[in-house]
Amino acid sequence: MAVGATCTAFIAGSEAVDKGFRRSKLPGTRFQYEGLRAMRILLVGAGGVGSAAVAIATRRSFIDALVVADYDPARAERAAALGDARICASTVDASSAEAISALCRGHAITHVLNAVDPRFVMPIFNGALAAGADYLDMAMSLSRPHEQRPYEECGIKLGDEQFAAASQWEAAGRLAFVGIGVEPGLSDVFARYAADSRRCASWGWIAHPR
């Protein structure tokens, strides 16, 4: 698994932090990415987060198609009803990797964006890999306590199941961006920025613009 331009390209309201980005001359589109191939995205989850992602997608020229999928067909239809011909609604069981994979293949999906409860991370993650699609999520695979010594030893940590599959993603030549939400995703970006631009103060570290 690796981090690249796809993540930055999808962030709403991001500044041009990567030299690959340039200002777009197209109405309603903030940035374009030089050489970025058109994306066919499966968005799993049409709740608050998913609906916001759909609205952002309408302003992104690099998106060729967006399939908004939810267990509740009415919710998927509402989220997709923005008058953009690239967006359509579908129904999917997020607990089934096979269902995710089949939906990906049926729409020639290149990227899967997971916007549902973290309990469904692994089926969606595995379904995307099986279909040969890149993957993004805002949460990670869940942690579990140690079975014998839950108060003395660390059990399965947040994201362990996904990181354990890194070699499979690398072998398939696919990318997986995990935990790119506000926490741990955006907070990690802030921490890295602070680490790169910190100045020492008597009471701790303060981040300053360069």
Average pLDDT of adjacent 10-residue blocks, the chain of 210 residues: 38 36 42 66 96 94 96 97 96 98 98 96 98 94 90 90 96 93 73 72 44
Tell me, what's the pLDDT at 180?
Answer: 86
Measure the CA–CA gap between 118 and 165, rounded to whole angstroms: 17
Domains and CATH numbers, the chain: 5-141+159-179 (3.40.50.720), 183-210 (no CATH)
Tell me, what's the pLDDT at 176?
Answer: 95
pTM of the predicted model as reported, rounded to 2 decimal places: 0.74
Q: Is the backbone peptide bond immediately before 73 cis, with ω within 30 degrees of 0? A: no
Tell me, what's the pLDDT at 38?
Answer: 85
Tell me, what's the pLDDT at 30?
Answer: 42
Residue 90 has which token pair? 């579908």
Tell me, what's the pLDDT at 50?
Answer: 95
The 8-class DSSP code of residue 185 comes to: I
